[in-house]
């Protein structure tokens, strides 16, 4: 393991140098800082006795000791010197974690050490090593490597200074992680490391050192009851305030002036703190979306404030992560997580969209952006944004052009996974309103809201909008002291003319074809979820049949899999009578169909929904083409015209059930969860035996088909009963004891999920399983080879008994032909062994 350092030109297109930095063992770089003269300062730790550039100390160290290092490269990447930091204390590890340039040509080093004899200066604020691992901070002369100041900072356990920052004048900020409950605290804003919940729990600390007096101005814990980690500390270039950022799994860290007062993430939130130079806490807040957030680094900005860099997970721009408009990547890109960059200024800034004239333009929706109206103001001629308010107070303005007719949702809270999430809501009592018009006096207010019924302080409204029209909307505080950070979620729902049953489109002609789009459709509360899964993107049509016969409805979704339902029409959606539903996939991807029998004069309601595809299961949609065409009905599609089977063995010609259809009252062979309606691809046969016989009724079909087979008695389709003597072998095979003079109805149907297509059926005499006459005995292996006759494809159990009373399972197997052998072990000491074969039934 080596360090590596590289330098890119300012335009990013040239690698100016790259170099390893390390010896023959493990070497880790922890931090890099570039001086004004271009020299590159690197720090970390090494096990390599031949680490390059060592000047101080001249001698090597024991192999069991790990020292820290500070190396200096010139601007061209050539190593100038290396200084080791550490001692020969047995088995000690000293790791330098962070560098900062001090005043008068000095360098500050922060890190951790288990070396209890690490050199400390006489003015150290903590001169004794206090635990297993202590933090340390050290000031050296860059030119001479002389140690000017050195002190421990630690308690009873393990403490690491992860980051330091210097203002180059009189302040050094430091932060790190700790397991110790007795850190040396000075004017802490949190004086207790919360109760340790597990061995892995760790809190963070922050402190400020007066580099002139070498006294701590403040040092404090920041911890909740779960884990925290530190990203870094920085000193504000404008105010001198100390910023600290990290990550936390806790939801009980102390918050103050919070931008987000709760950890909303399933795991991990960024945590951000700000202290003034006297050590008073100014800000402590969570930051992040609904999953996997954390700051990893931060840097001071020359004009004031800090930049945070980190990670946030699975937001899809609706999970509450505070992104803003007008940045390079305002929306979550993809994958499990994205990085983030966030700039927080040290002062309230003038916001560009404070006035109506300077309103920001919003384009692609949906979007959640974050804004802050703390420094916003009211304008002359601006009216209160909600009835009953005496404002305006701190309003911000946006504009948006509706791409088509539809509905516009606006809220000062976030949406997550399609739901309004009031957890991510405005930090103050907000007011929202929507207008049209060209100038402030005379704007026409279209909608307003002060109270989101689902939120404490947020607001929500929905407004019908017209395509091509521009809408202006404002966010204000409900009172003069209501201002702060807020998420603003904008969502557009395209209007779909036939989204609701009552607005269904009439289809004309005997065989209509049409185009449609359900992408922006929605579900209705009364909609009948026939397959127990409600897809919620249905559009509606009505068609009246001019003939009695078979019709096929085909729907081809361009990039989604449609879901079809056909009903006998009724006055309301809740009174619709199902005729057929679901999908039979055609060979063309995205194309599905259903067959249904029609009667002259009957009107049918058709719903086209999204079953799956580009939009994901349970909500897919898009453009589609559809058609209704007459079909020639197969003779035995109808129960009344079941094909007679005169004798057995009987083997049908291949027959295609693709144009079979559903009859009212037809029995359902489909799996549990789809019991509302049969698949509707049923074909029928009937058989009356002249003699009693054991028969097997089975179907052979393409492997892509999932065929169900049924056997019934009775004369009315609506009151058929499964044959009393039926033994179901599997979905495609039924064995039964046929009685002379009894009429049996034989049926084949489809699961509904698989392709229909050619199939054949057979009715044959059923041969009970039997043993062959030959038994081969292998005394060496102590096995018997049994010859078995049975029905191919049937599962059998081989059972054994020594007394013909107690039967034990010896084997279970699937017959792959009508005759096969199996080897069965036996105990030669047993006096006798009897075998029997038993069919395994579903």
**What is the closest distance, in whole angstroms, from the C-beta atom of residue 228 to other proteins in the complex?**
15
Tokens of residue 793, six digits = 């494809």
Q: Which is nearer to other proteins, 76 or 721 (CB)?
A: 76
**What is the closest distance, in whole angstroms, from the C-beta atom of residue 400 to other proteins in the complex?**
19
- Sole residue written with tokens 């430091």: 174
**What is the closest distance, in whole angstroms, from the C-beta atom of residue 200 to other proteins in the complex?**
20
Q: Which is nearer to other proteins, 77 or 612 (CB)?
A: 77
Q: Which is nearer to other proteins, 1 or 781 (CB)?
A: 1
**What is the closest distance, in whole angstroms, from the C-beta atom of residue 325 to other proteins in the complex?**
9
For the segment 342-401, give every residue that binds other proteins (CB under 8 A). 342-345, 347-349, 370, 372, 374-375
Q: Which is nearer to other proteins, 54 or 521 (CB)?
A: 54
Q: Which is nearer to other proteins, 48 or 598 (CB)?
A: 48
Q: Which is nearer to other proteins, 2 or 156 (CB)?
A: 2
For the segment 56-95, give every residue that binds other proteins (CB under 8 A). 75, 77-79
**What is the closest distance, in whole angstroms, from the C-beta atom of residue 230 to other proteins in the complex?**
14
φ, ψ of residue 635 in degrees (nearest 5): -55, -45
Tokens of residue 741, six digits = 């003079």
For the segment 667-706, give every residue that binds other proteins (CB under 8 A). none
Q: Which is nearer to other proteins, 316 or 563 (CB)?
A: 316
CA distances 836 to 557, 781, 786, 788, 799, Å, are 55, 22, 11, 11, 5
Q: Which is nearer to other proteins, 162 or 637 (CB)?
A: 162
Q: Which is nearer to other proteins, 278 or 656 (CB)?
A: 278
Region binding other proteins by CB under 8 A among candidate stretches 275-283, 438-446, 702-710, 812-820: 275-283
- Residues contacting other proteins: total by CB under 8 A: 120
Q: Which is nearer to other proteins, 231 or 738 (CB)?
A: 231
**What is the closest distance, in whole angstroms, from the C-beta atom of residue 23 to other proteins in the complex?**
5
**What is the closest distance, in whole angstroms, from the C-beta atom of residue 7 to other proteins in the complex?**
5
Q: Which is nearer to other proteins, 238 or 727 (CB)?
A: 238
Are 688 and 744 a contacting pair, CB within 8 Å? yes
For the segment 160-199, give every residue that binds other proteins (CB under 8 A). 188-192
CA distances 18 to 4, 8, 731, Å, are 7, 9, 68
**E strand segments, 124-280:** 134-141, 147-153, 159-166, 171-178, 203-210, 215-222, 228-235, 242-248, 269-275
**What is the closest distance, in whole angstroms, from the C-beta atom of residue 173 to other proteins in the complex?**
16
Tokens of residue 481, six digits = 């002291």
Q: State the Cα–Cα distance between residues 677 and 663, nearest whole angstrom.
A: 10
**What is the closest distance, in whole angstroms, from the C-beta atom of residue 384 to other proteins in the complex?**
19
For the segment 393-452, give every residue that binds other proteins (CB under 8 A). 427-428
Are 263 and 255 a contacting pair, CB within 8 Å? no
For the segment 620-659, give every residue that binds other proteins (CB under 8 A). none
**What is the closest distance, in whole angstroms, from the C-beta atom of residue 256 to other proteins in the complex?**
5
Are 662 and 580 a contacting pair, CB within 8 Å? yes
Tokens of residue 268, six digits = 């991990």
Q: Which is nearer to other proteins, 307 or 742 (CB)?
A: 307
Residue from 56, 81, 225, 257 that binds other proteins (CB under 8 A)? Answer: 257
52 is a contact residue toward other proteins (CB under 8 A): yes
The two most distant CA atoms of the chain are separated, in Å, by 115
Q: State the Cα–Cα distance between residues 705 and 60, nearest whole angstrom.
A: 76
Q: 172: burial class by Cβ within 10 Å (0-12, 13-18, 19+)?
A: buried
Q: State the Cα–Cα distance between residues 27 and 1, nearest whole angstrom.
A: 6
Q: Which is nearer to other proteins, 298 or 434 (CB)?
A: 298
**What is the closest distance, in whole angstroms, from the C-beta atom of residue 82 to other proteins in the complex?**
10
* Strand 733-738, strand 693-701: pairing: antiparallel
Rg (CA), the chain: 39
Q: Which is nearer to other proteins, 247 or 592 (CB)?
A: 247
At 674 the three-state DSSP class reads coil
DSSP letter assigned to residue 777:
E
For the segment 293-352, give every residue that binds other proteins (CB under 8 A). 296-303, 305, 307-312, 321-324, 326-345, 347-349
Q: State the Cα–Cα distance between residues 422 and 206, nearest whole angstrom.
A: 32
Q: Which is nearer to other proteins, 344 or 566 (CB)?
A: 344
For the segment 457-486, give every residue that binds other proteins (CB under 8 A). 480-481, 483-485
- Sole residue written with tokens 């505080």: 477
Residue from 9, 632, 715, 806 that binds other proteins (CB under 8 A)? Answer: 9
**What is the closest distance, in whole angstroms, from the C-beta atom of residue 417 to other proteins in the complex?**
18
**What is the closest distance, in whole angstroms, from the C-beta atom of residue 307 to other proteins in the complex?**
5
At 142 the three-state DSSP class reads coil
Cis-peptide, bond into residue 263, ω within 30° of zero: no
Region binding other proteins by CB under 8 A among candidate stretches 22-30, 411-419, 620-628, 693-701: 22-30
Residue from 132, 283, 717, 742 that binds other proteins (CB under 8 A)? Answer: 283
Q: State the Cα–Cα distance between residues 395 and 434, nearest whole angstrom.
A: 12
Tokens of residue 816, six digits = 């792959």
Are 5 and 19 a contacting pair, CB within 8 Å? yes
For the segment 497-516, give every residue that binds other proteins (CB under 8 A). none
Region binding other proteins by CB under 8 A among candidate stretches 250-258, 510-518, 599-607, 693-701: 250-258
For the chain, the first-to-last Cα distance in angstroms comes to 61
State the DSSP string of 358-391.
Answer: TPEEE-SSSEEEEEE-TT----TTPPPSSTT---
**What is the closest distance, in whole angstroms, from the C-beta atom of residue 63 to other proteins in the complex?**
15
Binding mask 25-44 for other proteins (x = CB under 8 A): xxxxxxxxxx-x-x-x-x-x
277 is a contact residue toward other proteins (CB under 8 A): no
Q: How many CB atoms lie within 10 A of CB 560?
A: 23
**What is the closest distance, in whole angstroms, from the C-beta atom of residue 706 to other proteins in the complex?**
37
17 is a contact residue toward other proteins (CB under 8 A): yes
What is the rounded (10 degree) CA torsion for 241, 246, 247, 251?
-30
Q: By C-alpha distance, which of 480, 474, 468, 424 is closest to 449?
A: 474
Q: State the Cα–Cα distance between residues 464 and 279, nearest whole angstrom.
A: 52
């Amino acid at each position: 393991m080596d360090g590596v350092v590289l330098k890119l030109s300012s335009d990013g297109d040239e690698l100016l140098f790259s170099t390893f930095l390390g010896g023959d063992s493990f070497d880790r770089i922890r931090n890099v800082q570039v001086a004004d003269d271009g020299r590159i300062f690197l720090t970390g730790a090494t096990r390599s006795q031949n680490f390059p550039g060592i000047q101080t100390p001249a001698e090597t160290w024991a192999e069991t000791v790990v020292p820290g290092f500070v190396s200096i490269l010139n601007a061209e990447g050539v190593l100038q010197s290396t200084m080791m930091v550490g001692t020969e204390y047995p088995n000690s590890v000293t790791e330098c974690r962070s560098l900062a340039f001090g005043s008068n040509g000095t360098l500050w080093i922060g890190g951790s050490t288990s070396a209890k004899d690490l050199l400390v200066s006489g003015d150290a604020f903590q001169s004794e090593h206090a635990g297993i691992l202590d933090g340390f901070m050290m000031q050296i002369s860059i030119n001479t490597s002389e140690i000017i100041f050195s002190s421990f900072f630690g308690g009873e356990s393990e403490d690491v200074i992860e980051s330091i920052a210097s203002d180059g004048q009189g302040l050094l900020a430091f932060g790190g992680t700790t397991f110790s409950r007795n850190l040396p605290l000075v004017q802490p804003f949190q004086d207790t490391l919360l109760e340790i919940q597990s061995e892995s729990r760790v809190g963070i600390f922050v402190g400020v050192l007066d580099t002139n007096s070498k006294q701590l101005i403040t040092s404090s814990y920041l911890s909740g009851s779960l884990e925290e980690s530190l990203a870094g500390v920085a000193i504000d270039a404008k105010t001198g305030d100390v910023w600290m950022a990290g990550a936390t799994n806790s939801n009980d860290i102390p918050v103050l002036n919070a931008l987000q007062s709760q950890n909303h993430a399933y795991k991990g939130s960024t945590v951000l703190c700000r202290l003034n130079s006297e050590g008073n806490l100014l800000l402590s807040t969570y930051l992040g979306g609904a999953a996997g957030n954390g700051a990893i680094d931060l840097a001071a900005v020359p004009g004031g404030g800090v930049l945070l860099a980190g990670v946030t997970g699975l937001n899809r721009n609706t999970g509450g992560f505070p992104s803003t408009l007008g940045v390079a990547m305002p929306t979550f890109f993809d994958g499990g997580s994205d990085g983030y960059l966030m700039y927080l200024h040290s002062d309230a800034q003038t916001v560009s969209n404070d006035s109506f004239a300077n309103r920001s333009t919003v384009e692609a929706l949906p979007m959640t952006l974050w804004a802050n109206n703390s420094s916003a103001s009211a304008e002359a001629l601006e009216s209160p944004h909600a009835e009953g308010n005496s404002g305006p107070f701190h309003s911000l303005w946006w504009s948006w052009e509706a791409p088509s007719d539809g509905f516009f949702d606006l809220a000062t809270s976030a949406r997550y996974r399609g739901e309004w999430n009031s957890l991510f809501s405005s930090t103050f009592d907000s007011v929202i309103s929507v207008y049209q018009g060209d100038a402030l006096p005379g704007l026409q207010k279209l909608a307003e809201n002060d109270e989101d019924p689902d939120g404490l302080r947020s607001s929500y409204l929905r407004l019908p909008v017209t395509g091509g029209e521009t809408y202006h909307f404002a966010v204000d505080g409900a009172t003069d002291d209501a201002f702060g950070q807020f998420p603003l979620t904008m969502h557009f729902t395209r209007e779909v003319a036939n989204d609701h049953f009552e607005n269904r489109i009439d289809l004309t002609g005997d065989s209509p074809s049409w185009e449609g789009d359900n992408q922006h459709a929605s579900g209705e509360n009364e909609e009948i979820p026939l397959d127990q899964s409600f897809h919620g993107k249905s559009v509606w049509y009505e068609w009246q049949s001019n003939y009695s016969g078979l019709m096929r409805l085909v729907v081809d979704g361009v990039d989604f899999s449609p879901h079809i339902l056909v009903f006998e029409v009724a006055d309301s959606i809740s009174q619709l009578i199902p005729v057929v539903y679901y999908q039979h996939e055609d060979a063309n991807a995205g194309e599905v169909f259903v067959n249904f029998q029609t009667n002259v004069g009957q009107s049918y309601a058709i719903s086209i929904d999204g079953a799956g595809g580009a939009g994901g299961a349970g909500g897919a949609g898009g453009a589609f083409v559809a058609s209704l065409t007459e079909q020639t009905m197969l003779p035995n599609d109808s129960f009344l015209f079941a094909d007679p089977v005169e004798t057995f063995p009987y083997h049908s010609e291949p027959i295609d059930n693709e144009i079979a259809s559903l009859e009212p009252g037809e029995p359902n062979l489909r799996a549990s969860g789809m019991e509302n309606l049969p698949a509707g691809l049923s074909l029928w046969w009937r058989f009356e035996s002249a003699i009693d016989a054991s028969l097997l009724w089975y179907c052979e079909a393409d492997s892509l088909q999932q065929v169900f087979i049924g056997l019934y008695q009775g004369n009315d389709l609506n009151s058929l009963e499964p044959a009393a003597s039926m033994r179901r072998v599997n979905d495609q095979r039924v064995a039964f004891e046929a009685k002379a003079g009894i009429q049996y109805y034989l049926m084949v149907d489809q699961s509904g999920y698989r392709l229909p297509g050619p199939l054949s059926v057979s009715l044959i005499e059923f041969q009970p399983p039997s043993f062959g006459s030959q038994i081969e005995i292998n005394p060496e292996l102590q096995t018997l080879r049994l010859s078995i006759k049975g029905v191919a494809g049937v599962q059998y159990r081989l059972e054994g008994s020594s007394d013909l009373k107690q039967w034990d399972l010896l084997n279970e197997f699937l017959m792959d032909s009508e005759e096969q052998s199996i080897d069965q072990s036996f105990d030669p000491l047993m006096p006798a062994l009897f075998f029997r074969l038993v069919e395994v039934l579903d």
